[in-house]
Structure 1
Amino acid sequence: MKNALITGSTKGMGRAIAIAFANEGLNVAICSRNEKELLQFKNELLAANPGVQVFAQVADGSNKTQLRDFASAAQQQLGFIDVVVNNLGMFTPTSILDDAEDTFEKQLNTNLIPTYELYRFFGKTMAAAHKGHFFNICSVASLNPVVQAGSYSITKYALLGLTKLMRLEMQDHGVKVTAIIPGSTLTDSWKDAVVDKNTMVLPEDIASAIINIYRMSPGANVDEMIIKPAPGQL
């Protein structure tokens, strides 16, 4: 049985992706800072598909030590990690000149560095095995900067650049790397806004796209997939 590790696992896109992989028959490794939410979600996944294993560990993915401890423990518990979904992220809607002193650092530690660290942790193992798939959740802000979210845009630009570099490093080793580039998606980033869900991308749409890419033949890699709201960006 194959194994998938998902960061930012208990809410929004990460939650939908974890459910999709469990339904696909993969064991899943999930983490969250909130132990109660994490254990509740673990039970939901096991109830949805009793045939899979769910490894859950309390961890702050923006903390390098906790992130690496989670990755190591998941590998030890489940075995070879076939899929890594770098979903952890945060959105701060301020222009750069209005950023707090720690805004940029927090977003680097959440939106970019965890993907770098998990690539370094799992990349050589995947390359040696000539299999595996990294999915990095980028943003349309990776393509067109959002002035009202300057630091976020910078980190997402960097994440897309890292993804391209990962793909080039891995393509001779049979390891796939895909950038998922969502537009306005109904996650907690919009919890204080009044929106019509029928005008937005849903987390389940992102999960569906990832599963269908995962199902492709060994010789096919989706470099980038852009998923925007049908009526246009909000």
Structure 2
Amino acid sequence: MSRRAEAPVPVTQRIYGALRSGIRDGRVPSGSRLDEGQLGRTFSAPRDAVRVALQRLRDDRLVERAPRRGTVVMRGPSRVDVGQLFRVRNLDPTVAVLEVTACPAPPGLFDEQPATTGTVVVERLLGHGDALCFEITFSRAVDSDLYARLSAMHSQDRPRWEASQPLDEYFTETYRAQLGNVAITAEAVECDRQLATLIRIDEGKSVFRFERRLSDTEGLLLEVSHAYFPASANFLEFTEGA
């Protein structure tokens, strides 16, 4: 019996989905001009399909018509360097460790650094009061034992105090290197269905996304983590120097 082939995704949806994703994750930056002819060639699509996709993006307030420039990506909330102003409150890391997996590094994650063969991904839920935070951490696979170390660190029988150990101690234990630089940025993003289910808020609500990048003393980026939490939750506190 032959398998029924899946219906192809309509070209308008392909264009819309690709551009929407690129705009939201920053691969198509604010101010970029979206040329109908170029998009048609890129997606092998007629101009009418491109125009419909661009209209949907305008309806989403992701692009706009600019005089003498055509369609351009709107300027959204810019990333803010919050390392000197805020910190995330101490969270309860025992809520749930969802998964620890080894996989290829996501495209673009470590592109500014030498090539890496893979990454170890840790997904977990953290709590503060009644609110939940979803955190996903990408660790550069510096050696064959990294997966085992991270799995052990997040095992259920690990003493609770160790889960909130100082950052420099965590970095040394994980990567066998000294912590050199910590870069933290934050931005507001729209909550999709999967994230909404995890942190128990309505789909489409605004959430804060904190990005933390940890490098060693040689400047090698070894870890990137993203933490998502409701904009209404009191996850932030001023640092003493703010």
- TM-score, structure 1 as length reference: 0.27
Decide which structure has the larger Cα Rg and report it.
Answer: 2
Higher strand share: 2
Higher helix share: 1
